[in-house]
């Protein structure tokens, strides 16, 4: 039978690539966007679901709609997310909360909506898209980094909670990927910051790094593998820096690890 998957944030970048790859490999793909009508023509291989992961009712409705159409979801890929930029001192609590609402609570909402049926069925795959930033926090992107560290914790704890159930949880951890992520980033106004010079330097590094990074297909391939492997790994890291960071973090004193991060981001 054709496996079904719901991919959040399927309208661009990693989510769009993942939806395309999974559809090409026989999955029935439900993809979410806040504005699905804009994406129907470009991605007819996706069955579009309107969803804002900020909103409890929107998530419950979207997940229920996909599950009803498919006769039960086999997999969920929690990918929707965005970034905010700015110092811990200056980013407003409102912006910080909004960041967690999408990147952490948005994932939690989707998992809670999809999980009961999967658990009852005794099978299913849940992929959470984390980030290297969750392990190596980015200066002036503390809030984003914190959401991704929280996603790592959720993924690992959930994998254990579901251990006897047949539902497997996988963390996919990309490093830099060339998508439109920086175009929709909430940059604030680094020039007006009390940290202006260093914030601008970090901004420059962040803006310059994505166009040099691999495209989203590398993440789509890892997600596809995570969904199809008989025994999926707990974690799929993408990119050399993502593989090396945990080694550095484990063996280097914290001070040196942080100094390497400062050097990388030119702050």
Rg (CA), the chain: 18
215 binds ligand NAP (CB under 6 A): no
61 binds ligand NAP (CB under 6 A): no
Q: Which of 87, 102, 145, 193 binds ligand NAP (CB under 6 A)?
A: 102
Q: Which of 43, 49, 70, 80 binds ligand NAP (CB under 6 A)?
A: 80
- Nearest distance in Å: CB 59, ligand NAP: 9
- Nearest distance in Å: CB 210, ligand NAP: 6
66 binds ligand NAP (CB under 6 A): no
187 binds ligand NAP (CB under 6 A): no
CA distance 218 to 227: 15
Residue nearest to ligand NAP (CB): 13
Q: How far is CA 137 from CA 30, 60, 69, 223, in A?
A: 32, 32, 40, 23
Q: Report the residue number, 53 or 127, with the smaller CB distance to ligand NAP.
A: 53
Cα–Cα nearest to 152, from 129, 168, 121, 136:
129
CA distance 66 to 44: 16
Residue-wise burial string across 88-118, b where 16 or more C-beta atoms lie within 10 A, e elsewhere:
eebbeeeebebbbbbbbbbbbbbbebbbeeb
82 binds ligand NAP (CB under 6 A): yes
Under the rule (CB under 6 A), what is the footprint of ligand NAP? 8-9, 11-15, 32-35, 51-54, 79-82, 102, 106, 129, 131, 174, 176-177, 179-181, 184, 210, 216
């Amino acid at each position: 039978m054709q496996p079904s998957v719901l991919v959040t944030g399927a309208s661009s970048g990693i989510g769009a690539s993942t939806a395309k790859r999974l559809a090409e490999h026989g999955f029935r793909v439900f993809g979410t966007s806040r504005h699905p009508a804009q994406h129907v023509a470009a991605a007819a291989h996706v069955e579009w679901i309107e969803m804002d992961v900020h909103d409890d009712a929107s998530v419950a409705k979207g997940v229920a709609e996909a599950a009803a159409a498919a006769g039960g979801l086999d997999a969920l890929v929690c990918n929707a997310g965005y970034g905010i930029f700015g110092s811990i001192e200056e980013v407003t609590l409102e912006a910080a909360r909004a960041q967690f609402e999408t990147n952490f609570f948005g994932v939690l909402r989707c998992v809670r909506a999809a999980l009961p049926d999967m658990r009852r069925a005794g099978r299913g795959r849940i992929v959470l898209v984390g980030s290297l930033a969750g392990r190596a926090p980015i200066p002036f992107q503390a809030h984003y980094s914190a959401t991704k560290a929280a996603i790592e914790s959720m993924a690992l704890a959930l994998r254990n909670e579901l251990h006897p159930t047949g539902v497997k949880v996988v963390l996919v951890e990309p490093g830099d990927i060339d998508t439109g992520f920086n175009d929709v980033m909430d940059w604030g106004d680094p020039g007006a910051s009390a940290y202006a010079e260093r914030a601008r330097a970090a901004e420059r590094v962040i803006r310059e790094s994505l166009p040099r990074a691999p495209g989203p297909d590398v993440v789509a391939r890892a997600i596809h593998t995570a969904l199809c492997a008989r025994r999926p790994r707990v974690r799929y890291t993408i990119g050399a820096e993502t593989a090396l960071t945990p080694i550095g973090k484990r063996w280097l004193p914290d001070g040196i690890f942080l100094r390497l991060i400062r050097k990388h981001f030119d702050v």
